[in-house]
Structure 1
Amino acid sequence: MRRSGMVLLILFVFGSSAWGWWPRGHGILTRAAVQALPADAPAFLRAGAGMVAHAAVDPDVAKNRGTLHLEKAGHPVHYFNMELFEVADLPASRYAFARLCAELGKKPEQVGLLPYVTAEYTGQLALSFAEFRKWPDNPHIQNKCLIYAGYVAHFAQEVCQPLNLTIHWNGRVVDGKSSRTRIHEKIDGLLQNLDLRPEEIAEGLTAAPVDSLMTGIVAQMHESYGEVESALSMEQYLVPKDVDWKNEPAVRAFAEKHAKRAAGFTVSLYLTAWKMSEKIRLPGWIDRGEMDQIKK
C-alpha cells in the first residue's frame, strides 16, 4: 500500500469508536445467556438476570467524554483489528502485547485490546465464584458476581460481532479510505429493532466451558472474523433507505444466527469461569465472613 494510503488507514483505525451491540442488544443477549445456563448453575445467578443485564451495558456507558481517563481507556477494549496483528502470536498479557506492538512499530490502541479485557473479566468472575464457593451466603459476593458476569457478557458479545474484528468496521476500506456506510451501527441495532426476545435466543442453546481461556477466546475471534464478508453483505439491505429490511428474511436470519452465537459464547465463558473457580486457592488472610460481619 502507498504510504499515503497507510497513513489514512492508520488514522481511520485509530479513530474508530465502534459500539458493538447497542445497549438494549447487550441486555437481550445477556438475559438469553442467563436463561440458557444449565440447571446446576448457581441459583442466585439465574435470579439476578436483571442485574447482570444492567451491568452488561456499563462498558459502553464508560465511553463518556465527561470522564476523560475512563473514556480514553474504554475505546480500544471493544475491538481487535485482525488484519493488523497475527492473532496466533498473541502474548499472554496486555503488557507483553504492548511491548510486542512497539517492536512491530504498531500501537496497541490501533490493533485493539478486546481479547485481553475478555480474558481479564472472565478471570475476575472466576475469582468471585471461588469466593462464592467458600462463602455461599454472603450477599456482597453474590452481588459482585452478578456485576462481573455483566462485564463478561458485554465483551463476550463484542467478540461475536464480526465488525469488531476488522478495519472494515464502518464499511469496506479501499486504498486506505473507508466507504463509511455505517454498517456497524446498523448491525448493532438489529437485535432491538427486530425485537428479538431473550427466550427465543435461549431456546435450544447449549454451551460448554473452554479448556484454555485465551485459546477459546481466540478461536471465537477467528470464527467471528470469518463472518466479516457476511456482515458487509448486509449493506445491500440496511444501507438503502428504500429497502424494507425488517421484513427481509436474510436480515432476520443473520441477526438470529449471531444472537445465538453471542449468547452461547457468553454462557461458555460463564461455565469456564465456574470451572476455573474450582481450582482457585484464596489467600489465607481473607475471611469474607468476618470482614463483612456475616456469620458463615
Structure 2
Amino acid sequence: MANNAGQDDFQTKLQNWLPKIVLSPSIAAMVVFVYGFIAFTVYISFSDSKMLPSYDWIGLANYTKLWKLSHWWVSITNLAVFATLYIGICTVLGLSLAILLDQKIRGEGMLRPIYLYPMALSFIVTGTAWKWILDPGIGLENTMHQWGWESFHFDWIKDRNMAIYTVVIAAVWQTSGFVMAMFLAGLRGVDNEILKAAQIDGASNWRLYRRIVIPMLRPAFLSAFVILAHLSVKSYDLIIALTGGGPGRATEVPATFMYSYTFTRNSMGIGAASAVIMLMTIAAIITPYLYAELKEKK
C-alpha cells in the first residue's frame, strides 16, 4: 500500500511539473530574445551608440536630438494621416460588410472567405501586388489606356502629395475583411429576443441598428481599434514593399525612420530612441484595453 501511495504521489508531481519542464525552453527563449532585447534597446537609446553599440551613458540626449529632426516630424505626420484613415475606413467598411452578411444573404458562405482571403497574405505580398497595380507604366493606368480610355490617370504612387493614400488603400484592402469577421461575430452574438421586442414596438431597421445593435458592439469596436492601431504603428513591411518610404519622404513613418537611422545612417542611439517611442505608443494603446478586459472579467 505504501509503495502504491508513493507511486501515485510521484505521478502527481510528475504531471504537475511536466508542463513546466516542456514549456521552460520556450519561456526562456522568449525572456531572452523578446524582453531581453527590448531592455537592450532601451539601454542603447540612452547611450552614445553610432554604427555599433556603445555603453557610454548620455541620458536623454538621443531623445532630444530625435524630436528636433524634421524627418521625425514628417514620419509622425504621415503616421497620423495613415492611421486615422486606415482605422476609420476599415471600421466603417468592416461594419458595413458585417451588417450585409448578417442579413443571411445567399452566397454568404462564399463571400466570407473572399473577404478574409487578403488577411492570409503577408504585408510584403500585399505591398508588392499593389505596387504593380498602382504603377502607371504596368498597372491600372496602363490597362485603362490599352482599353481606349486615354484620359484616365492614376499616378498617386509617384505623387508626393498622394502617395500616403496608396498605402491606406493597400492596408484597407488587406485588413477590412478581418474587421468584418470581428463585427460579424459580434452581430451573431446579439440576443434575437431584444431585436424582436424592438421590432414589435415599431422600430425601423435604421433605428434598430443605431440604438440597439451598434451600441452592443462596443467590445468589437474596441478590439478592432486596438488591432488596427497596433498594425498601423508596425506598418514597416507594407510601406517598404509598396513605396519604399518615397517618393522622397512622402510615406516615411516611424518604423521606416527607425530602420534608416539605425542601419543606413549609423545612428543606432537615435534609432533605438525612436523604437522605444513606438513601443510606448503601442503600450499606451494596449494597456487600457487589457485593463478594461480584466476589469470586466472580475
Higher helix share: 2
Rg comparison, structure with higher value: 2
- Bin the TM-score by the shorter chain: under 0.3
* Structure 2 length-normalised TM: 0.26
TM (norm. structure 1) is 0.26
